[in-house]
Amino acid sequence: MQAMVLDEPGQPLREETRKVPQPGPGQIVVKVAACGVCRTDLHIADGELHAPALPLVMGHEVVGRVQASGEGATRFSTGDRVGIPWLGSTCGRCRFCRTGRENLCDEPVFTGYTCDGGYAGFTLADERFVVRIPDSYDDSGAAPLLCAGLIGYRSLRKAGDAGRLGIYGFGAAAHIVAQVACFEGREVYAFTRPGDTRAQAFARGLGCVWAGDSSEKPPGELDAAIIFAPVGSLVPVALASVGKGGRVVCGGIHMSDIPGFPYAWLWDERQIVSVANLTRHDAEAFMSLASRFQIRTTTREFSLRAADDALQCLRSGNLEGAAVLIP
């Protein structure tokens, strides 16, 4: 099989021919049909996330079909279509795993970060952490659901029952979450890079009631805000836009430092919270929702060999929706 390999952060990916992996106990081999390119991949490639398992095959928005199953792996049959998300496995023993918080596991395995992922023709997965893909999505359209959708869904749940919701950074996750929030009857306010009128038009086309620059104040107080852009300076900006009891949710795995801000902006029981990873319950709940409500994923396809080009499009902000690699 062909694989795109990261040898060192900051360096281009290297194409490599490898043997198709063989499944161990509890594992399945998945023939990759599509793999989304996530901002987390960009953080890994740029060296902003430490200690990846180098040399590494990135990619954790994997859609494909089961090719083979290892000993004791009985959840899926050969040919079943499945999705492989960021959370690859957990220890099952720590206090977080024992209390329904496996997203905070002390010894996790992360797909495309601490084990090889989907920038390849085939990949391995722990079958316990794999999810079925709704039939209503094609492979490319389903790929962004596996992280942009799942982390966005967890971020939305962290925002509580906010009726007026701000979203800062209108990329892959935001374009999915905005649709879910509108489906739930919320008013969504989109904040983009300054001057990005194309992204603002895109947001309005997905049902947002307002779209503007991240430097602008919304036309009224927000109940909550979700920040997907990895820009720490947006935290006090968003905090100043939410009303009493409002919440600012930081939905990214990496963010630049948060600058100081007046305590008055936090007063009146406003909150700042982060979202870390996901749980299997998140995956099942979100896929159930996605099967009932047809989320429109906007994607741009790249060949596997063009993975660096896809990453650069994401890095430069020259991307509407999500990039997807097709082996």
State whether 246 and 200 are in the same domain: yes
State whether 79 and 188 are in the same domain: no
Query: What does the pLDDT read at residue 215?
Result: 87
State whether 195 and 303 are in the same domain: no
- Ramachandran bin of 287, using left for φ above 0, alpha for ψ from -120 to 50, beta for the remaining angles: alpha
Any idea what the CATH number is for the domain that residue 46 is in? 3.90.180.10
State whether 90 and 189 are in the same domain: no
Peptide bond into 327 cis (omega under 30): no
Q: What is the end-to-end Cα distance of the chain in Å, rounded?
A: 10
Query: What is the domain extent for residue 54?
Result: 2-144+277-326
Query: What does the pLDDT read at residue 307?
Result: 98
Query: What does the pLDDT read at residue 318?
Result: 86
Residue 41 is classified by DSSP as H
State whether 163 and 269 are in the same domain: yes
Query: What does the pLDDT read at residue 61?
Result: 98
State whether 12 and 124 are in the same domain: yes
State whether 165 and 261 are in the same domain: yes
> Could you tell me the mean pLDDT of each successive run of 10 residues in the chain, 327 residues long?
98 98 98 97 96 98 98 98 98 97 98 98 98 96 96 96 97 95 97 93 96 93 97 97 98 95 96 97 95 92 98 92 96
State whether 249 and 290 are in the same domain: no
- Residue 201 in 3-state DSSP? helix
Query: Is beta strand 2-5 parallel, antiparallel or unpaired with respect to 222-227?
Result: unpaired
Query: What does the pLDDT read at residue 63?
Result: 98
- The dihedral built from the CA positions of residue 124, 39, 113 and 10, taken in this order, carries a sign that is positive
Query: What does the pLDDT read at residue 293?
Result: 87
| Domains identified in the chain, total number | 2
State whether 236 and 303 are in the same domain: no
At residue 260's C-alpha, the angle toward residues 255 and 262, to 5°, is 130
- What is the full DSSP assignment across 121-160? SEEEEEGGG-EEPPTTS-HHHHGGGGTHHHHHHHHHHHTT
Residue 220 is classified by DSSP as S
The CA distance from 314 to 319, in Å, is 6
Q: Indicate the helix (H) or strand (E) that contains 287.
A: helix 280-292
Query: Is beta strand 27-37 parallel, antiparallel or unpaired with respect to 322-326?
Result: antiparallel
Residue 126, CA distances (Å) to 8, 28, 144, 148 in order: 26, 7, 20, 21
Q: Which residues pair with 110 in a beta bridge?
A: 87
